[in-house]
Structure 1
């Protein structure tokens, strides 16, 4: 039992999910949301309020763009992408408190959270395979 408690406590201290990130944004919690995908992915669409910093650039850019000690949440494409873990590792190496948003951009969009691209807001759709869809949400 102790092993399970330790495991899940550690897991939850290093991960978050799109619903919790959206709730934190709405509460104006102090953190920086970082999209660690490449330029083409960012241009296609990204989370409203995110900062674009591909994981390969974190070591050189983060110390100049994100104040030390700032809580950081990173995301990539989806559960099938490990760029989020690579980005989280880079922030951790720099000493930032960091968590990975599991599900990435895919689950952010599937849950109907706000996303944008250079043309403006993207349509919000609510996928009943990943969430309960309430009538007032559609």
Structure 2
């Protein structure tokens, strides 16, 4: 009997390159982000906490703005720089606030990515966070 994971045929390597390349175009690895932050390489993107202001106050990624996904509208994003990439994150792989936030931003014409694993994975790796009241983002 064939293993379950092989019940469907595998795609050709060229198809896999396209598929995984598209997936990686929308994902940010926590280790890469942590290294960029440690090296001061923060130009070109904005970290977006898509959970509630209360979650942001408790702990958020360094330099992140607070933009709960339910509040993402044309009006709330009016002053955001459309030339930047917005990296959305939420609690964990069991939360879809980052996906919802990225979707809503993309529908408004913003370039977006999502942090893999959310703040839970970030913390599990021992990367730093900040705490405090949300501050409106200014370009």
TM-score of Structure 1 vs Structure 2, range by shorter chain: 0.7 to 0.9
The answer for unaligned runs of 5 or more in structure 2 is 1-12, 134-139
Does the 8 A contact of 1:69 with 1:95 survive in 2?
no
Q: For 2:107, which of 93, 103, 108 is the aligned residue?
A: 93
Does the 8 A contact of 2:88 with 2:98 survive in 1?
yes
**With structure 2 as the length reference, what TM-score do the two structures score?**
0.78
The answer for unaligned runs of 5 or more in structure 1 is 120-138
| Larger helix percent | 1
Match runs of 1:1-138 below 5 Å: 1-25=13-37, 26=39, 27-59=41-73, 60-64=75-79, 66-118=80-132
Q: Distance in 2 between matches of 1:91 and 1:49?
A: 19
> Where has structure 1 moved over 3 Å in runs of 4 or more?
none
SS of 2:51's equivalent?
Answer: coil
**With structure 1 as the length reference, what TM-score do the two structures score?**
0.79
Number of positions where the alignment pairs a residue of Structure 1 with one of Structure 2: 118
